Amino acid sequence: MENLPELRVLALAEIMPHEKVDPLRVDRLAARITDEGSQLNPMVCIEDISGRFVLLDGATRTAALGNIGLAYGVVQVVDSRSITLETWHHVVRDVAPEAVTRHIEDNPNLILAEDEGTPRISTIDGGRFTAHSDRLSQNGLLSALVDCYIGRWKVNRVVDPDLDSVASFYPDWATVVEFPTLTIDDVMKAALGDDRLPAGITRFIVPDRALRVQADLALLAAGPQPERQALLDRLIEERSSTGRIRRYPQSVVIYDE
């Protein structure tokens, strides 16, 4: 099959994330990967002009693979010109809304003011606030805000932060955190510098996204990288020759991701 996505086996240490991770999501995914015995979906990276690999999607996956002691991961390398960047917003669930706002107010680097735009915090009891900081960078502000609830309560990501839409999907919602629009340049600066974005706010639309590769964990264990790459290439060739690779031009809905 021609024009397949470019899949590489990369050392996890070479992959440069642009965002932090939610430790609860990392633990859950590490347990799932261990149970299944394979890396189901590749991470997505851009290779910059100096040969560095910036992680666009799959920070949780990368951390989970590292946590279970693997040396490598399967990565889809994409052209930055082919992708679209959107924003995830966060729904904090099953907690009193005042507990969330109290944790934000208790952070000495954050200030909650009347609603002046994003990052906007909306609560189920009608509160609407904007988070500010006179001490932190913009990325630092966003990270400090997310750190107030990530790993502490249930958090889901939504594309549409409209409160009626959120309530229809999450009746137990307490707080919606709406983030500003980001650019690819923001992501690259976060990855190549030391000012990372918080977990789970960047959403990349990738044409011909490679899914369900199911790379056996033995393929990702320590060993020479060319040998690992040869094993992956052999796996893809075998799947292609037996007609197991499919390209779907239409949008799809996945129920077990």
The domain that contains 16 carries what CATH number? 3.90.1530.10
Below-70 pLDDT ranges, the chain: 1-2, 257
Domain that includes residue 147, residue range: 89-178
Q: Are residues 72 and 104 in the same domain?
A: no
Contact between residue 165 and residue 158 where contact means Cβ atoms under 8 Å apart: yes
Q: Are residues 147 and 224 in the same domain?
A: no
* Number of compact structural domains in the chain: 2
Strands (E), 34-71: 38-39, 43-47, 53-57
Among candidates 247, 221, 190, 251, which has minimal Cα distance to 74?
Answer: 221
Q: Is residue 129 part of a domain?
A: yes
Q: Are residues 74 and 98 in the same domain?
A: no
Q: What is the pLDDT of residue 257?
A: 62
Q: Is residue 196 part of a domain?
A: no
Among candidates 214, 221, 200, 206, which has minimal Cα distance to 251?
Answer: 206
Q: Are residues 44 and 70 in the same domain?
A: yes
The dihedral through the CA atoms of 104, 105, 109, 114 has a sign that is positive
pTM for this prediction: 0.82
Q: Are residues 138 and 208 in the same domain?
A: no
The dihedral through the CA atoms of 230, 12, 185, 249 has a sign that is positive
Q: Is residue 254 part of a domain?
A: no
Give kind and range of the element (H or E) at residue 229.
helix 225-241
Q: Are residues 41 and 118 in the same domain?
A: no
**Radius of gyration for the chain, computed over Cα atoms and rounded to the nearest angstrom:** 20
Q: Is residue 189 part of a domain?
A: no
Q: Are residues 156 and 110 in the same domain?
A: yes
Q: Is residue 256 part of a domain?
A: no
Q: Are residues 94 and 173 in the same domain?
A: yes
Q: Is residue 22 part of a domain?
A: yes
Q: Is residue 198 part of a domain?
A: no
Q: Are residues 21 and 76 in the same domain?
A: yes
Q: Is residue 141 part of a domain?
A: yes
Q: Are residues 13 and 139 in the same domain?
A: no
Distance CA 246, CA 50 (A): 33
Q: Are residues 81 and 93 in the same domain?
A: no
Q: What is the pLDDT of residue 2?
A: 66
Q: Are residues 81 and 207 in the same domain?
A: yes
Q: What is the pLDDT of residue 73?
A: 98
CA distances from 25 to 28, 58, 59, 95, 155 (A): 5, 11, 10, 18, 10
Contact between residue 148 and residue 103 where contact means Cβ atoms under 8 Å apart: yes
